[in-house]
Structure 1
Amino acid sequence: MPVIDINTDTENLTMTVTAEFAAPIERVWHAYSDPRQLERFWGPPGWPARFETWNHTIGGRADYSMSGPRGETSRAYWEFLEINEPRGFSVLDGFRDDDGNPTADLPAMRMDFTFESAGEGTRMVTSSRFDSLEALQQVIDMGVIEGTRMAMAQIDAVLRDLREYAQGKGTRVEELDDTHVRITRLVDGPLDLVWRAYTEPELIKKWMLGPDGWEMTECEVGLKTGDRYRNSWAPVGDTEGEAFGFEGEMLLVEPPRRAVSNERMQGTDGPDVLNDVNFYEEDGATLITVLMEFPDKDTRDMILGTGMADGMEESYKRLEREVLAA
């Protein structure tokens, strides 16, 4: 976990984040000065950032938005106040409306990012300064402390070569809190083909089968926000088990990088599980990240206890073998 401390000072109206990275200062600077890299970790899981404009000069501005899993959007901006490559930079960070104007009822803050070498790595100190105690408390109430920890936990995948970070690691499951789980798997294939493998029924039936001995008997996909989908599986031959299936609604579809859906067992009233699937390609390999949101801890533990991760790993191996290498 890169974040080692988050401290709020109500007397001086500041919030200070201290983090350490296993990367040299020049590499960390590049991650913070390249919008395509920055947006991979600036938003917390479930709220990825997207920088729409980027004028990285003193007095320049960067506009970004963070998109929630149910279509919510939060818009913000940076105004660059100081730039001292590779030692740090300062911005005015605030919220904006649809027209790009600062939002008066939400707080703005000055953020000073400072990078310094620490052995073979880098220490970052980010100090945010507020105009009032009310503004500081408003940001805290919005969940910025936990959101910062979760967002920064994504940076390791950015600072390292993607294949070095994930290839050969299989399907990895991280319990983020009582109701959120992140699952990652690097597959050896380009983004466009991986997206097709997730959205074209003839390809889905080749790989999304879990352990050997099962077949997909029904595959109705949702290709746009609001579409319904339905998938069913049944055992083949002597394989033990009963047929089952899932159904739900597509909450957000952004080809070819993100698909969010709710999911429930067919023939039941739930509980619903939210699946937020994101795709990122680098050097011909695609990182698949699934953020699952459960209604409670008991549901999380019950579903993880079914051997779901093992079944996903078998499916991903089949994806590489039957679709991506075909």
Structure 2
Amino acid sequence: MPVTSVESDTEALTMTLVADFRVGPERVWAAFTDPRQLERFWGPPGWPATFTSFAFEAGGRARYEMRSAGGEVARGSWRFVDIEAPRGFEVVDSFVDEEGEAIPGMPSMRMTFAFEATEAGARLTNVTYFDSLEALEQLTAMGAVEGATLAMNQLDAVLQGLREFAQGKGTQLEILDDQHVRITRLIEGPRALVWRAHLDPDLMRRWMLGPDGWRMSVSEVDGVEGGRYRIAWEPEPGTEGEAFGFDGEILLLDEPRRMVQTEHMTGTDLPTTVNDLSLYEEDGATLVTLLIEYPDAATRDAVLATGMVDGMEESFQRMERVVVG
């Protein structure tokens, strides 16, 4: 993970984040000054960012919004105060409304981003300056430390490129905290087709099967926001196991980038999870990222113990063979 420390100083009224990378400072600079790269990591998992404008010049402004799995929207604005390429830049970061106006009662913060070379690559030092102790405590209570850490720890995939970051590694699992895990898998194929494979019932029957010896007996998807879905599997003759399935609601649909849905094991009183799927394409390959929110650590561990990740890897291999390839 790139982030090495996040420290708050109540006397200096600052929060300082330090992160180290295995690439040069020019590459890190490029990630922070290109809105298409920046939006891949500026929002923490579950709150991806979209930059709607980006006037990268002293006095210019950038506007962004972050949308949660439940549809809540948080908006922000940067006013660029100083730019010294490629060593660093300074902004004033504000919470804004839909029209881009500062929200009363919410603090504005001065932030500096400094990039320097190290023996291993580059170091980012990001310092946030607060106007008061109350503002520092308010942002800390809102999860600024945890959010900033999770956001910056997404940078490796951006800096290295998709194939260097993920090719040949199969389905990867990261436990982010007690309630959240992130699963990633690189698919050698275009995003549009990978998106269809997750929503088209006929395509789903061809790849979303887990281990050999199982077939999808039900695949019903109403592919709109608010739509319901139901999928189920049963063992082929000669394969041991009992039929099971899932149902849920599509909460958010942003074709072909992101789909958020609830997931509940049909016919049980087991807890419902929230599954946040995002797809990113680079040079003909698509990174599939699934962020799963569990109600607690016990449920998370019980689900992971079923061999879910291994089953997903067998399904993704089948997707590459019969759908994408």
- CA RMSD in angstroms comes to 0.7
Give the residue type in structure 2 aligned to 1:279. Answer: L
Matches within 5 A, 1:179-218: 179-218=179-218
C-alpha deviation, 1:120, in angstroms:
3.6
- TM-score w.r.t. the length of structure 2 is 0.99
C-alpha offsets along residues 73-113 of structure 1, whole Å, 9 cap, x if unaligned? 00001000011110000000010011110112111100011
C-alpha offsets along residues 115-151 of structure 1, whole Å, 9 cap, x if unaligned? 1101141111111111111111100000000111111
| 2:153 equivalent to 1:153 | yes
Aligned to 2:221: 221
Task: List structure 1 runs of 4+ shifted beyond 4 angstroms.
Answer: none
Instruction: Tell me if the contact between 2:21 and 2:120 (Cα under 8 Å) persists in the aligned partners.
Output: no
Give the residue type in structure 2 aligned to 1:215. Answer: R
Aligned to 1:173: 173
How far apart, in 2, do the equivalents of 1:130 and 1:30 lie? 27
Give the residue type in structure 2 aligned to 1:244. Answer: F
C-alpha deviation, 1:13, in angstroms:
1.0
Give the residue type in structure 1 aligned to 2:62. Answer: A
**Counterpart of 1:52 in 2: which secondary structure?**
strand
Q: Which runs of 5+ in 1 are unaligned?
A: none
How far apart, in 1, do the equivalents of 2:62 and 2:98 lie? 14
C-alpha deviation, 1:270, in angstroms:
3.0
Equivalences, count = 325
| 2:77 equivalent to 1:80 | no
How far apart, in 1, do the equivalents of 2:11 and 2:153 lie? 29
**Counterpart of 1:300 in 2: which secondary structure?**
helix
Give the residue type in structure 2 aligned to 1:294. Answer: Y
Instruction: Tell me if the contact between 1:175 and 1:181 (Cα under 8 Å) persists in the aligned partners.
Output: yes
Matches within 5 A, 1:287-298: 287-298=287-298
Aligned to 1:23: 23
C-alpha deviation, 1:222, in angstroms:
3.2
Instruction: Tell me if the contact between 2:276 and 2:290 (Cα under 8 Å) persists in the aligned partners.
Output: yes
C-alpha offsets along residues 139-174 of structure 1, whole Å, 9 cap, x if unaligned? 000000011111111000000021111011000001
How far apart, in 2, do the equivalents of 1:155 and 1:286 lie? 17
**Counterpart of 1:16 in 2: which secondary structure?**
strand
Deviating more after overlay: 205-214 vs 12-21 = 12-21
Instruction: Tell me if the contact between 1:222 and 1:249 (Cα under 8 Å) persists in the aligned partners.
Output: no
**Counterpart of 2:246 in 1: which secondary structure?**
strand
How far apart, in 2, do the equivalents of 1:245 and 1:198 lie? 16
C-alpha deviation, 1:181, in angstroms:
0.5
Q: Identity, % of aligned pairs?
A: 56
- TM-score w.r.t. the length of structure 1 is 0.98
How far apart, in 2, do the equivalents of 1:28 and 1:320 lie? 32
Aligned to 2:101: 101
C-alpha deviation, 1:225, in angstroms:
1.4
Deviating more after overlay: 76-85 vs 5-14 = 5-14
C-alpha offsets along residues 21-55 of structure 1, whole Å, 9 cap, x if unaligned? 11101100000000010111101100000000010
